[in-house]
């Protein structure tokens, strides 16, 4: 496991943390809502993209430079900040203090607009940026040039798919924000079709993505079939298969030869593959495990989950395929 320290004086700045895959939820947030920590306690990840001020607009940067940074279509501003920032939950931070003159925010917290706002208590070196305002994931971004990795305890073992399913580790605490990974999955499916019609297998996948895919892609014969596959679920016959991404390693579960894997956030995949089945029928002799009371009835969402438009565009803008004319037309049209 990693322990990060100050590059200036060597002071310990974090608890021992284990590396995980970059959370897909970075693709969007829910505006004017307080968010939980982006990462679980005891974990960290590295964001390969530049982040932080100064920011430049697409027209100022130009398509060529933007492509060198991994941005292939206009989407928001581009950062001239450092790449490779280390992300972790705020509760895993140690030995830092807030730089008050850089603690601006929108209304309920700090949004990091002024750059690094955390300093090492040992030498006052700015080492990271904390964000916790409404519309922001609660997270700390450590500046890679300001921290060093110190010796830590042994790394946690990587769980295999069977263990992830058995322990319930795929069912994520951020399921309230499932529209974000759904928007990312929608972008991945659109690219995988190559612009061809798509037939979505009936069931949870059709309920989640069918309407959006029907609006984005043409109808016609020789449609590619889209279905779900993965560990403990099986591999139905289909051209495109939604498969999970390992939450620790970021590796994509691989289906049989011939089918195109379309990566999906593991927590969203688990909800689609193994939706909860709970009976609300009256029973005799008490309530068995897993049976809900009916007073009051459990709340139901007012609207069905729809893929996040922001996450959809965020993902497409970072895929080289968006420069192809057919896909750029779809991108510019929106969803």
> Which tens digit of pLDDT belongs to each residue from 30-76?
988 999 999 999 999 999 999 999 999 999 999 999 999 999 999 99
- If you compute the radius of gyration of the chain from its CA atoms, what whole number of angstroms results? 22
SS3 content of the chain, % helix, strand, coil (to 5): 25, 20, 50
Pull the structure tokens for residue 27: 């693709």
For the full predicted model, state whether its pTM sits above 0.85.
yes
> Which tens digit of pLDDT belongs to each residue from 159-200?
999 999 988 888 878 888 999 999 999 999 999 999 999 999
Cα–Cα distance between 5 and 269 in angstroms, integer? 36
Nearest one of 150, 129, 136, 105 to 6, comparing CA atoms: 150
Q: How confident is the model at residue 296 (pLDDT cuts 50, 70, 90)?
A: low
Cα–Cα distance between 33 and 215 in angstroms, integer? 29
In this prediction, residue 43 carries a pLDDT of 96
DSSP 173-204: TTGGGTHHHHHHHHHHHHHHHTT--EEEPTTH
Kind plus residue range of the DSSP H or E element containing 265: strand 260-265
Q: Which residues contact 326 (CB under 8 A, 6 or more apart)?
A: 195
Q: Which residues contact 305 (CB under 8 A, 6 or more apart)?
A: 178, 179, 182, 208
Q: Which residues contact 74 (CB under 8 A, 6 or more apart)?
A: 58, 317
Pull the structure tokens for residue 49: 């993209």
Q: Which residues contact 169 (CB under 8 A, 6 or more apart)?
A: 159, 163, 247
The answer, yes or no, to whether residue 286 has pLDDT greater than 70, is no
Contact 261, 255 (CB under 8 A): yes
Q: Is the dihedral of CA 240, 242, 245, 246 positive or negative?
A: negative
Kind plus residue range of the DSSP H or E element containing 68: helix 63-68
Contact 141, 129 (CB under 8 A): yes
Q: What is the 3-state secondary structure (H, E, C) of 269-318?
A: HHHHHCCCCCCCCCCCCCCCCCCCCCCCCCCCCCCCCCCCHHHHHHHHHC
In this prediction, residue 32 carries a pLDDT of 87
The answer, yes or no, to whether residue 301 has pLDDT greater than 60, is no
Bridge partner list, 129: 141
């Amino acid at each position: 496991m990693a322990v990060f320290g100050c590059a200036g004086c060597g002071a310990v700045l974090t608890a021992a943390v284990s590396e995980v895959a970059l959370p897909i939820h970075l693709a969007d947030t829910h505006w004017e809502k307080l968010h939980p920590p982006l990462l679980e306690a005891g974990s960290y990840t590295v964001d390969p993209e530049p982040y932080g001020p100064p920011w430049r607009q697409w027209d100022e940067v130009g398509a060529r430079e933007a492509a060198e940074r991994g941005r292939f279509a206009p989407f928001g501003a581009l950062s001239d900040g450092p790449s490779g920032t280390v992300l972790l939950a705020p509760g895993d931070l140690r030995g830092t203090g807030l730089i008050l003159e850089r603690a601006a925010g929108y209304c309920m917290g700090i949004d990091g607009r002024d750059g690094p706002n955390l300093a090492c208590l040992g030498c006052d070196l700015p080492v990271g940026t904390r964000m916790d305002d409404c519309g922001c994931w609660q997270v700390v971004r450590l500046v890679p040039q300001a921290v060093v990795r110190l010796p830590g305890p042994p790394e946690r073992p990587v769980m295999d798919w069977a263990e992830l399913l058995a322990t319930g580790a795929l069912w994520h605490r951020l399921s309230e924000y499932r529209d974000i990974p759904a928007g990312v999955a929608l972008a991945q499916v659109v690219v995988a079709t190559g612009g061809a019609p798509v037939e979505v297998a009936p069931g949870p996948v059709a309920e989640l993505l069918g309407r959006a895919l029907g609006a984005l892609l043409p109808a016609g014969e020789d449609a590619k079939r889209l279905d779900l596959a993965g560990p403990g679920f099986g591999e139905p016959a289909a051209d495109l298969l939604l498969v999970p991404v390992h939450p620790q390693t970021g590796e994509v579960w691989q289906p049989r030869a011939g089918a195109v894997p379309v990566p999906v956030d593991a927590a969203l995949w688990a909800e689609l593959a193994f939706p909860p089945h709970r009976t609300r029928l009256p029973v005799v002799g008490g309530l068995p495990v897993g049976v809900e009371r009916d007073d009051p009835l459990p709340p139901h969402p007012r609207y069905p989950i729809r893929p996040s438009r922001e996450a959809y565009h965020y993902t497409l803008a970072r895929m080289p395929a968006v420069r192809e004319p057919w896909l750029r037309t779809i991108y510019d049209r929106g969803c």
